[in-house]
Amino acid sequence: CDVYRPAAIDQLKTLGEQIDVAVYSDESKDPVKIAMAAVEFCKQNYKDTLIVDTAGRLAIDEEMMREVETLKSKLNPAEILFVVDSMTGQDAVNTAKEFHDRLNFDGVILTKLDGDSRGGAALSIRAVVDKPVKFVGVGEKLDAIEPFYPDRMASRILGKGDIQSLVEKAATMLPEELDEKKIAKLEEKFRGNKFDFGDFLDQLQQIKKMGSLSSLMGMIPGVDRIMKGKEIDDKPLRQVEAVINSMTLTERTNPDIINGARRKRIATGSGTSIQDVNRVIKQFYDMQKMIKTFKKGRGMNNVLRNMGLPPNFSLK
């Protein structure tokens, strides 16, 4: 029912196609008429759930407030959720209060919790409107929405991380990688020192599946305090992936054959420099040394000495 923002309905249709969900729209400029027609569409097509998306607003607008009040009275919805940008701070709290006074909504969805905000808006809104925060948005992808757990959010706000959510994210996003047979095969490669660039690429892609480095690091106790709201640049990871993808299968399994000519070809194919390729290869050998150190039980100090982050792996 967002008839104000250019291409808003087209954007919803595109999202609907991606997740195979029907999106109703018509040529009317009246949000109430569109909503009522959508109800009829659901009845005729045997749909048991209808989500009405109203126009977003950054500030209180009397005309739009009357619009949502009319929608509520006409539709008599089973649930009303207030979606708010957690980065807007006090403005979010003020808007939430006004909406609640007029609509008496049932819950809140907080977006952009993967940004600089740690979630203070969640506490403020909960205190002002006395309605639960039900879901949080932690990224831009379609699956980047999670149920809200107050204890875990409190832990993040205090800089204590959120290991439970990290473990659950791994179990949900990487079910195949957590398969016992696959883990045993990887452990066997570690023990036999047969870990190659193909395995390195697999591990890198698994990390990418779980979200941005910033959101993952924020779940680790103590790291959030060190980062102090800064964003970790994902570019070096993408660069490593590009370099490995430009290697032949033989080069991935036997990196010792990668001479000067091969490094030049890999750099050209990956859109990087020879120095970048050299850095990736060095990191790989450093990882192999680290694995050997674990096998020989030399302790964490030697492991840390063998770990080398690329110079452009920066905090922004």
CA distance 82 to 106: 8
The full DSSP string for 8-23 is: HHHHHHHHHHHTT---
Model pLDDT, residue 244: 92
CA distance 155 to 293: 34
Q: Is residue 44's pLDDT more than 50?
A: yes
Model pLDDT, residue 315: 42
- Element containing residue 146 per DSSP (H, E): strand 145-147
Name the average pLDDT for the chain: 76
CA distance 88 to 85: 6
Model pLDDT, residue 311: 47
Amino acid letter, 40:
E
pTM of the model: 0.53
Model pLDDT, residue 39: 94
- Reported as a single tens digit per residue, the pLDDT across 260-297 is 999 999 999 999 999 999 999 988 888 777 766 655 55
Comparing 4 with 257, the larger pLDDT belongs to 257
- Reported as a single tens digit per residue, the pLDDT across 206-247 is 766 666 655 655 555 544 554 555 555 667 778 888 999 999
Model pLDDT, residue 216: 58
Model pLDDT, residue 238: 83
Amino acid letter, 111:
T
Q: Mapping DSSP to helix (H, G, I), strand (E, B) and coil, where does residue 239 land?
A: helix
Sheet holding 107-111, edge to edge: 81-85, 107-111, 133-137, 145-147
Model pLDDT, residue 147: 86
- Reported as a single tens digit per residue, the pLDDT across 145-183 is 888 877 666 665 555 545 455 545 555 554 554 556 665
Compute the average pLDDT of residues 39-49.
Answer: 93
Comparing 258 with 158, the larger pLDDT belongs to 258
- DSSP letter, residue 255: G
Model pLDDT, residue 313: 44
Q: Is residue 33's pLDDT more than 80?
A: yes
- Element containing residue 212 per DSSP (H, E): none
% of the chain at pLDDT higher than 90? 25
92 within 8 A of 86, measured Cβ to Cβ: yes
Q: Is residue 18's pLDDT more than 70?
A: yes
Domains and CATH numbers, the chain: 8-171 (3.40.50.300), 180-306 (1.10.260.30)
- Reported as a single tens digit per residue, the pLDDT across 86-132 is 777 777 788 888 889 989 999 999 888 765 455 566 678 888 888 88
Amino acid letter, 261:
A
Q: Is residue 303's pLDDT more than 50?
A: no
Model pLDDT, residue 2: 79
Burial of 122 by CB count in 10 Å (0-12 exposed, 13-18 middle, 19+ buried)? buried
**Which pLDDT band holds residue 197 (cuts at 50, 70, 90)?**
confident
Partner residues linked to 110 by β-bridges = 84, 136
Partner residues linked to 135 by β-bridges = 109, 147
